């Protein structure tokens, strides 16, 4: 059942979707989502994957261009050689390429979608998920005007999002937090620093303990588990790691060093759904809560994140929001909508359960290339 026959066609697309409003973090301001999509075809079935890289190497060293390079020159040649294969088998062979987990996840995702479609099953059933719906969460970018921030949170609260995350940057965090807590003393709130602080900022970071935060996401450098472990001992607020976690070894190290109490598992950042599943299983055993972060994905990447969150370790709301929060028009249907209680239904149908709209794909594509 888990065998895929030879890949007959592989095509990559770069699409550029305008965001409804610019999204600012401590790293950059994004006005468009430039996404790398991969379509793999075997027989009558096609599967789609989306790379979570960006055009620039700010969040990660991987970019859309490095991902295309790795997929084209290293990952697809492994696939092309095979008459029949399992996804685990090719993922093991992909290990000969160091890092480049975003590129690997793109291929893995497309293969999983393909396999699930071949089996006529929704993806979550193929990967062992159970839940029929997941919690929602929203990530609010840095706002110049505090009224805009309050407005965004008010809108999210009305929609019953299960938690609200705000992006913060060093020196500009206390004023917005004070305003938010004054206006909304009870909302489930967390902050994401995208590695903007260092351990020298301990006194400033200590002040965050006053705002009843669910967690502080990635306060320190992406490559510094040691200082995160020192910081966690000084704070009562749990630290959640995002950029620091690239694979299961990082999770084991972070948990055993005491560098975090929560892990953000972005399947697109850690090499795909199967790797993410192994990480959530480890965290579940260690009683470490996990959630699924977002990378402003189009409806394709977002669908994978939704299916992932049906696994049992995902006990905290993630970054999955309504489509209309980011895009006026997505390249897939149906779009994601919240139930009145703020939940998201798992898409029905085979594979990821969303359909690419060819006219929109064509309109938003800025370049494409057939690789096989
Ligand atoms: Mg983050």
User: Is 167 a catalytic site residue?
Assistant: yes
Whether the per-residue pLDDT at 124 is higher than 70: the answer is: yes
Tell whether 207 and 331 lie within a shared domain. yes
Dihedral sign (CA 154, 24, 218, 106): positive
User: Is 11 a catalytic site residue?
Assistant: no
Which CA distances in Å does 114 have to 101, 110, 167? 20, 6, 35
Tell whether 363 and 331 lie within a shared domain. no
Tell whether 116 and 133 lie within a shared domain. no
Q: Which of 167, 246, 275, 277 is catalytic?
A: 167
Tell whether 143 and 255 lie within a shared domain. yes
Tell whether 230 and 340 lie within a shared domain. yes
CA distance 342 to 50: 25
Average the pLDDT over 300-322 and give the result: 96
CATH for 364: 3.30.390.10
Domain region containing 28? 3-120+357-370
* Phi and psi, residue 331, nearest 5°: -90, 0
pLDDT band at 1 (very low <50, low <70, confident <90, very high): low
Average the pLDDT over 302-326 and give the result: 95
What total of structural domains would you count in the chain?
2
Average the pLDDT over 120-126 and give the result: 96
Tell whether 63 and 186 lie within a shared domain. no
Tell whether 84 and 139 lie within a shared domain. no
* Ligand 1 midpoint to CA 363 (Å): 30
Tell whether 12 and 138 lie within a shared domain. no
Each residue's pLDDT tens digit, 136-155:
999 999 999 999 999 999 99
* Ligand 1 midpoint to CA 295 (Å): 9
Tell whether 271 and 260 lie within a shared domain. yes
* Ligand 1 midpoint to CA 83 (Å): 39
pLDDT (0 to 100) of residue 348: 84
> What's the mean pLDDT when you consider all of the chain?
96
What percentage of the chain has pLDDT greater than the value 90?
97
Each residue's pLDDT tens digit, 55-108:
999 999 999 999 999 999 999 999 999 999 999 999 999 999 999 999 999 999
Six-digit token string for 350: 């085979």
CA distance 344 to 36: 25
* Ligand 1 midpoint to CA 89 (Å): 31
Question: What is the rounded end-to-end Cα distance, in angstroms, of the chain?
Answer: 24
* Ligand 1 midpoint to CA 228 (Å): 15
Tell whether 187 and 93 lie within a shared domain. no
pLDDT (0 to 100) of residue 26: 87
Query: Please, what is the Cα angle at 83 between 82 and 86, to 5 degrees?
Result: 70
CATH for 277: 3.20.20.120
Tell whether 116 and 143 lie within a shared domain. no
Q: Which of 33, 104, 143, 266 is catalytic?
A: 266
* Ligand 1 midpoint to CA 56 (Å): 16
Average the pLDDT over 277-289 and give the result: 97
Tell whether 365 and 340 lie within a shared domain. no
Query: Please, what is the Cα angle at 278 between 273 and 283, to 5 degrees?
Result: 120
CA distance 169 to 155: 23
């Amino acid at each position: 059942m888990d065998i895929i026959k030879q890949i007959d066609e592989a095509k990559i697309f770069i699409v550029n979707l305008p965001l409804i409003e610019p999204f600012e973090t401590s790293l950059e301001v994004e006005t468009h989502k430039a996404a790398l999509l991969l379509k793999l075809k075997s027989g009558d079935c096609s599967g789609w994957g989306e790379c979570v890289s960006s055009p620039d190497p700010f969040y990660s060293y991987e970019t859309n261009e490095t991902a295309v390079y790795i997929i084209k020159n290293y990952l697809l040649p492994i696939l092309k050689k095979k008459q029949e294969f399992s996804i685990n088998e090719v993922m093991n062979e992909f290990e000969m390429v160091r890092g480049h987990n975003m590129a690997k996840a793109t291929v893995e995702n497309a293969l999983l979608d393909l396999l699930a479609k071949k089996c006529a099953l929704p993806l979550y059933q193929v990967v062992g998920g159970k839940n029929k719906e997941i919690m929602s969460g929203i990530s609010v970018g840095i706002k110049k005007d505090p009224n805009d921030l309050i407005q965004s949170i008010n809108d999210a609260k009305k929609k019953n999002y299960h938690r609200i995350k705000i992006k913060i940057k060093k020196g500009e965090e206390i004023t917005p937090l004070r305003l938010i807590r004054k206006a909304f003393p009870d909302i489930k709130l967390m902050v994401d620093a995208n590695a903007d602080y260092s351990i020298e900022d301990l006194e400033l970071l200590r002040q965050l303990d006053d705002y009843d935060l669910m967690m502080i996401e990635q306060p320190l450098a992406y490559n510094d588990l040691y200082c995160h472990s020192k910081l966690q001992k000084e704070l009562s607020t749990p630290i959640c790691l995002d950029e620091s976690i690239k694979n299961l070894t990082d999770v084991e190290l972070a948990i055993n060093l005491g560098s975090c109490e929560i892990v953000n598992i972005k399947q697109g950042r850690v090499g795909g759904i199967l790797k993410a599943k192994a990480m959530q299983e480890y965290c579940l055993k260690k009683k470490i809560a996990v959630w699924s972060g977002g990378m402003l994905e189009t409806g394709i990447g977002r669908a994978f994140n939704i299916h992932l969150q049906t696994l049992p370790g995902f006990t905290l709301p993630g970054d999955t929001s309504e489509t209309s929060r980011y895009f006026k028009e997505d390249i897939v249907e149906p779009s994601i909508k919240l139930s009145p209680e703020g939940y998201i239904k798992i898409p029905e149908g085979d594979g990821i359960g969303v359909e690419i709209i060819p006219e929109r794909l064509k309109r938003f594509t800025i370049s494409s290339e057939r690789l096989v």
